[in-house]
Structure 1
Amino acid sequence: MSDKFDVIVIGTGPAGSSVAISCAKEGRRTAVIDERDYGGTCPLRGCNPKKVLASVSTMVDETERMQGKGIQEPASINWQDLMEFKRSFTEPVPEAKEKSFKKAGIETFHGKATFTGEKSLTVNDQVLEAERIVIATGARPAPLPIEGAEHLTYSEDFLELDQLPKRIIFVGGGYISFEFAHIAARAGSDVHIIQRGNQPLSAFDPDMVNLLQEKSKEIGITIHLNSSVKAIEKNDTEYVVKADQDKGEVSFLGDLVVHGGGRVPQTEDLQLEKANVEYSKSGIAVDTTLQSVSNRHIYAIGDVADTKGSPLTPVGQMEGQVVTENILHGTGNKASYMGIPSVVFSEPKLASAGLTEKEAREAGYDIKVNHQDVSNWFTYSHINDKPAAVKIILDKETDYILGAHLVGGKADELINYFAMAIQLNIPAHQLKIVVYAFPTAVSDVPTML
């Protein structure tokens, strides 16, 4: 005997939660399923706890760069106190999330969801059915073809460290590695990043990435490019990481080796074949309305879906809104990924929205590129914020902003203004005539254009 619902959502992160609560409020009988604590990666094991740690790292950087300019003593990080503070944000989430579901009239299930048919699944041996099932299971660390990969520590484990090791090696040069490396280095660790290719953070503008790399080196992070990790060995008191470089095999010694090699869609154990759901290593195949191309009862959103969107929380939330409208009203809404901003919360921060210079040229646009070092502008010079730079890609024909790329302490907030302009098709000349509060970072926007 099965329990029948209108909507079942698998995954309780921000994307899945928004769908479930919205459907329940509209009178749909709704259920949520999660095999882990309710709340999802971002609030519990990703964005939010990472930002707590990164913000403290920023404060340390601010006091260091203002030595002799009004600040006498640099700040330092007490790791145990910081982790306790971080847990004050993460620990309340699962209970609060479950209470919000129950308040909305949503039935909650803890366990692993496994499909048994196109509209049915089991959780804890209980059979559930629904006309609409939304898969929002997120992503997991990508398996790395490395001998001794069992010795890797993962990002969520790093966020729970009671003690910060003296020597840390990050395998891979993506978001996780750079954000955590900047935190660890400013907390006193000797940090190495091992990057297989010749540029880390490959989705970002290379000129901005180069500036971040130089700053990373200044604070004691060693970056090894064109280095392919082959094996990790554990000795009594340390790990040995072996990598191939042009000059031959090299070895690195560390007390902790962290997986920073990217993530893949979490489709394991769902048994999607039984639901006639097409998927690949890139995720569940969906159309522009985020509906499964092979099973029209199924939707997929967030990191588990194979879309044009980046693996970002705001992307998942946007997709959740699209799916909610399509389930409730059959509107056929489509997901749009134009101009969605992305930020690396290192210090300085690295931010991007829209097309890179290379992408714009390859797309055939006649472009104007405003590439400026802005570290001597008052916004940055009065707090000794270096490096700071901006690259704006403009369409000469329409005056629309095609892309924006920034590095600096204000990049995470500034990028939102450029993202707004890209998404709403606001031409550059209109941004220039706005009267902004001064002196603020945003008041620099007209000069950047």
Structure 2
Amino acid sequence: MTETLDLIVIGAGMAGINAAKKCSQAGWSVAIVDELPYGGTCALRGCDPKKMLRAGAEAVEAVRLLEGKGVAGETRIDWPTLMKHKESFTDPVPESMESALTEAGVKTLHGRARFTAEDRIEIDGYGEIAFRRALIATGAKPRPLKFPGAERLIDSTDFLNLAELPRRIAFVGGGYISFEFAHIAALAGAEVTILDRGARQLKMFDPELVKMLLERSREAGIKIAAEAEMERIEDANGARRVLYRRAGQSHSIEADLVVHGAGRVPAIDHLDLAAADIETEHGGVKVMPWLQSPSNPRIYAAGDAAASPGKPLTPVAVFEGKIAASNMLKGKRTEPDYTGVPSVVFTIPELARVGLLEEEAREVGDVEVSFTDTSGWFSQKRIGETHAGAKIITGKDGKILGAHMFGPEYAELINVFSLAIKLGLTAAQVKAMPAAYPTGASDLGSMF
């Protein structure tokens, strides 16, 4: 490719695809490159396939909860068939994404990329390409783990492609990935253990509701070992032996599969950023508030690859990609607005939050905190759920500062609070919303 591109996008996930289309449609010459199939983590290796598998677990749990309440008979997950259901969504994604980019005028390239100069990039199979602007949107990868035997772990991508589900599974780490996959695996019939080095799991969520989730997880048969420091993983009896220390004592368990659920880091190691004078920060590409590199103004970054204030979530990647594209096109310095971005752990039931945690809100000033155990409410009684709760935090002016929820369908209800925080609505204004009855939203006014 001998021409100088207006923009080269590295990474064909949500941030990169949105930016590439926007700039191409504005008349720029744009190419996008990825060494993996187009679609990114969310569509292919994360959010969407995970939730496809979760559908099977939801169905099994729904039957269990209503056992003796009018529903009879056994239900089980047929893992290979459920995997085919997942693949019915994921398999067409790369071709669909690439076709849409081509129709938008974007050149689609495949291969590993690395910088060779401040305005040059080399791509396997294509040689060196010159550019006026570059967007780094390479997403994230599993955090490297350095204990002996760590190479015996599989990652979340591998788990989402398991042809058969092993009988015994251990998850290393106490975050989103471990808890979401643990619920799916346990409800599919596996014996599941979560090993977390921390004293507190899911630290980004309300501790009172996390406690409910832990109780509910144990009820589902999931074993949870907190403050478990990994020592090593070794082969044993045709399986894996996981050795860890807890309270000063050595422990071990055997598992047929050990899954990495100990967090993710920006996937930028392979880019040779130093060759383009691109600085890093907190493991990601250092950017100014408008997503531009301070050391090489040709470079922008968005999504999980950027060391921005945004959380590593798909909606953040989408709007960061669009804002980066707009800033490049117009030469502006528009900053992303991260207000009101919700986050959900898709366990069964789900744990959701938006806005400030209680401890964060109290640092700002006087607040009112309303915690409600909703496990006995009609919405839960109807389906046999035993654990649910909500915590709503408001300021002195009545505006909602944070909302935290654990319960069925609360991943949808949290969006109401997301909108309220985004628009600066007060608790009174939210309570005034008429809702269809009986629905989850009709419970909202009684939560605070």
TM bucket (normalised to shorter chain) is: over 0.9
Equivalent-residue separation in structure 1 for 2:390 and 2:310 (angstroms)? 23
Superposed counterparts of 1:279-358, under 5 Å: 279-358=280-359
Equivalent-residue separation in structure 2 for 1:198 and 1:58 (angstroms)? 29
Q: Does 1:122 align with 2:122?
A: yes
Superposed counterparts of 1:250-269, under 5 Å: 250-269=251-270
Equivalent-residue separation in structure 1 for 2:155 and 2:301 (angstroms)? 25
User: 1:303-339: per-residue Cα shift (whole Å, max 9, x none)?
Assistant: 1111121111111011112112212223321012222
Equivalent-residue separation in structure 1 for 2:208 and 2:405 (angstroms)? 10
Q: Does 1:429 align with 2:428?
A: yes
Deviation at 1:348, TM superposition (A): 1.1
User: 1:230-278: per-residue Cα shift (whole Å, max 9, x none)?
Assistant: 1000124110101011141101110000000000101111000011110
Q: Does 1:97 align with 2:105?
A: no
Deviation at 1:294, TM superposition (A): 1.1
Equivalent-residue separation in structure 2 for 1:392 and 1:431 (angstroms)? 12
Equivalent-residue separation in structure 1 for 2:96 and 2:154 (angstroms)? 29
| 3-state SS in 1 of match to 2:353 | strand
Deviation at 1:381, TM superposition (A): 1.3
Q: Does 1:246 align with 2:242?
A: no
Report what 1:43 is aligned to.
Answer: 43
Equivalent-residue separation in structure 2 for 1:195 and 1:238 (angstroms)? 21
Q: Does 1:59 align with 2:59?
A: yes
Deviation at 1:281, TM superposition (A): 4.4
236-245 vs 121-130, which moves further: 121-130
Query: 1:84 corresponds to which letter in structure 2?
Result: K
Query: 2:406 corresponds to which letter in structure 1?
Result: V
Equivalent-residue separation in structure 1 for 2:427 and 2:117 (angstroms)? 52
Deviation at 1:384, TM superposition (A): 1.4
Report what 1:73 is aligned to.
Answer: 73
TM-score normalised by the chain length of structure 2: 0.98
Equivalent-residue separation in structure 1 for 2:117 and 2:443 (angstroms)? 56
| 3-state SS in 2 of match to 1:343 | strand
Equivalent-residue separation in structure 1 for 2:444 and 2:419 (angstroms)? 13
Report what 1:226 is aligned to.
Answer: 227
Equivalent-residue separation in structure 2 for 1:385 and 1:339 (angstroms)? 28
Equivalent-residue separation in structure 2 for 1:89 and 1:217 (angstroms)? 31
Query: 2:398 corresponds to which letter in structure 1?
Result: D
Deviation at 1:28, TM superposition (A): 0.9
User: 1:347-405: per-residue Cα shift (whole Å, max 9, x none)?
Assistant: 01000111100111123x21000100011221121111221100001102x11111110
User: Given that residues 2 and 126 in structure 1 are in contact (C-alpha distance below 8 angstroms), is that contact kept between their aligned partners in structure 2?
Assistant: no
User: Given that residues 370 and 448 in structure 1 are in contact (C-alpha distance below 8 angstroms), is that contact kept between their aligned partners in structure 2?
Assistant: yes
Equivalent-residue separation in structure 2 for 1:444 and 1:321 (angstroms)? 35
Quick one: percent identity of the two aligned structures? 46
Report what 2:109 is aligned to.
Answer: 109
Equivalent-residue separation in structure 2 for 1:338 and 1:190 (angstroms)? 40
Superposed counterparts of 1:326-405, under 5 Å: 326-363=327-364, 365-396=365-396, 398-405=397-404
In structure 1, list runs of 5 or more residues that go unmatched: none
User: Given that residues 348 and 386 in structure 1 are in contact (C-alpha distance below 8 angstroms), is that contact kept between their aligned partners in structure 2?
Assistant: no
Query: 1:395 corresponds to which letter in structure 2?
Result: G
User: Given that residues 67 and 74 in structure 1 are in contact (C-alpha distance below 8 angstroms), is that contact kept between their aligned partners in structure 2?
Assistant: no
Report what 1:413 is aligned to.
Answer: 412
Deviation at 1:434, TM superposition (A): 1.6
| 3-state SS in 1 of match to 2:193 | strand
Query: 1:175 corresponds to which letter in structure 2?
Result: Y
User: Given that residues 142 and 264 in structure 1 are in contact (C-alpha distance below 8 angstroms), is that contact kept between their aligned partners in structure 2?
Assistant: yes
Equivalent-residue separation in structure 1 for 2:130 and 2:398 (angstroms)? 51
User: 1:66-91: per-residue Cα shift (whole Å, max 9, x none)?
Assistant: 01112112421000100011111111
CA RMSD after TM alignment: 1.1
Report what 1:196 is aligned to.
Answer: 197
Deviation at 1:282, TM superposition (A): 2.6
Query: 2:239 corresponds to which letter in structure 1?
Result: E
Equivalent-residue separation in structure 2 for 1:60 and 1:234 (angstroms)? 33
TM-score normalised by the chain length of structure 1: 0.98
Question: How many residue pairs were aligned?
Answer: 447
| 3-state SS in 2 of match to 1:243 | strand
| 3-state SS in 2 of match to 1:339 | coil
| 3-state SS in 1 of match to 2:271 | coil
Query: 2:53 corresponds to which letter in structure 1?
Result: L
Equivalent-residue separation in structure 2 for 1:362 and 1:282 (angstroms)? 28
Superposed counterparts of 1:430-445, under 5 Å: 430-445=429-444
Equivalent-residue separation in structure 2 for 1:388 and 1:103 (angstroms)? 46
Report what 1:165 is aligned to.
Answer: 166
Q: Does 1:448 align with 2:412?
A: no
User: Given that residues 264 and 281 in structure 1 are in contact (C-alpha distance below 8 angstroms), is that contact kept between their aligned partners in structure 2?
Assistant: no
Equivalent-residue separation in structure 1 for 2:212 and 2:337 (angstroms)? 31
115-124 vs 185-194, which moves further: 115-124
Deviation at 1:3, TM superposition (A): 2.8
Equivalent-residue separation in structure 1 for 2:238 and 2:282 (angstroms)? 37
| 3-state SS in 1 of match to 2:71 | coil
Deviation at 1:433, TM superposition (A): 1.2
User: Given that residues 386 and 408 in structure 1 are in contact (C-alpha distance below 8 angstroms), is that contact kept between their aligned partners in structure 2?
Assistant: no
Deviation at 1:51, TM superposition (A): 0.5
User: Given that residues 354 and 422 in structure 1 are in contact (C-alpha distance below 8 angstroms), is that contact kept between their aligned partners in structure 2?
Assistant: yes
Deviation at 1:131, TM superposition (A): 1.5
In structure 2, list runs of 5 or more residues that go unmatched: none
Query: 2:440 corresponds to which letter in structure 1?
Result: A
Query: 1:379 corresponds to which letter in structure 2?
Result: S
Equivalent-residue separation in structure 2 for 1:441 and 1:219 (angstroms)? 23
Query: 1:371 corresponds to which letter in structure 2?
Result: F
Query: 2:151 corresponds to which letter in structure 1?
Result: E
| 3-state SS in 2 of match to 1:406 | strand
| 3-state SS in 2 of match to 1:321 | helix
Superposed counterparts of 1:145-160, under 5 Å: 145-160=146-161
